[in-house]
């Protein structure tokens, strides 16, 4: 369970969150809100990538010094070094977190033939696949997927949903076409409901 309390966050002099509270208790949550209200910012904060905020974020009641140890995030907010190949990027993640190389995921999302392509040369759909593989391969207790189906082809979206069904850990997503995710068991939760 992820709990955010008293969160205040200002972005370029504009307050995004002020004394904000939210709790994600369901194992699979789909966060809903129109564009530009701060979903991606909240995800970056929960994943420990954005430290410029005031408030408390706890993970199963525990406050983490380095949340990225336990939270993996797939988001456009993480800019990959454009000149590295997909394989080099995945190997970096493998070495950094001592996890196995994600052959199964690569196969599942039909990404095998793009491993030697540089990130900048990948299509937007393949960049999204790489983000997803990069986050899911770590098998962390919490995984956050920001717009996982955006730019993804229908077949890959179905494969992804199938994969997420058996994922051992809490999953947070944001999605503008959430129906297939709801069908699989994701629970809708509004960004400003609590």
Binding positions for another protein, rule: CB under 8 A: 44, 47-50, 66, 68-69, 72-73, 77-81, 83-85, 88, 91-93, 95-97, 116
Shortest Å, Cβ 81 to another protein:
5
Shortest Å, Cβ 162 to another protein:
25
CA distances from 3 to 60, 66, 159, 176 (A): 8, 16, 30, 23
Instruction: Between 47 and 189, name the residue whose CB sits nearer to another protein.
Output: 47
Shortest Å, Cβ 55 to another protein:
18
For residue 190, give both structure tokens: 């509004």
For residue 138, give both structure tokens: 């770590």
Instruction: Between 67 and 181, name the residue whose CB sits nearer to another protein.
Output: 67
Shortest Å, Cβ 41 to another protein:
12
Instruction: Between 58 and 77, name the residue whose CB sits nearer to another protein.
Output: 77
Shortest Å, Cβ 51 to another protein:
9
Q: How buried is residue 162: exposed, middle or buried, by Cβ count under 10 Å (0-12/13-18/19+)?
A: exposed
Task: Please name the helix (run of DSSP H) or strand (run of DSSP E) that holds residue 155, with its range, or none.
Answer: helix 154-165
Q: In whole angstroms, give the CA distance from residue 142 to residue 169.
A: 6
Instruction: Between 58 and 91, name the residue whose CB sits nearer to another protein.
Output: 91
Instruction: Between 86 and 181, name the residue whose CB sits nearer to another protein.
Output: 86
For residue 140, give both structure tokens: 């962390």
To the nearest 10 degrees (0 to 180), the angle between helices 124-136 and 86-97 is: 20
């Amino acid at each position: 369970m992820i709990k955010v309390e008293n969160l205040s966050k200002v972005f370029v002099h504009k307050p995004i969150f002020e004394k904000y509270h939210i709790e994600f208790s369901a194992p699979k949550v789909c966060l809903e809100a129109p564009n530009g209200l701060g979903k991606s910012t909240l995800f970056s904060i929960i994943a420990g990538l954005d430290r410029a905020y005031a408030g408390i974020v706890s993970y199963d009641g525990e406050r983490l010094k380095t949340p990225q140890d336990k939270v993996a995030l797939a988001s456009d907010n993480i800019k990959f070094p454009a000149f590295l190949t997909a394989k080099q990027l995945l190997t970096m993640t493998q070495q950094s977190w001592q996890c196995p190389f994600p052959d199964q995921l690569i196969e599942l999302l039909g990404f095998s033939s793009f491993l030697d392509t540089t990130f900048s040369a990948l299509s937007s759909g393949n960049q999204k696949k790489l983000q997803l593989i990069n986050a899911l391969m770590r098998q962390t207790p919490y995984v956050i997927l920001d717009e996982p189906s955006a730019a993804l082809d229908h077949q890959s979206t179905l494969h992804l949903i199938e994969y997420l069904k058996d994922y051992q850990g809490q999953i947070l997503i944001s999605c503008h076409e959430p129906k297939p995710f709801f069908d699989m068991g994701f629970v809708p939760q509004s960004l400003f409901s609590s």
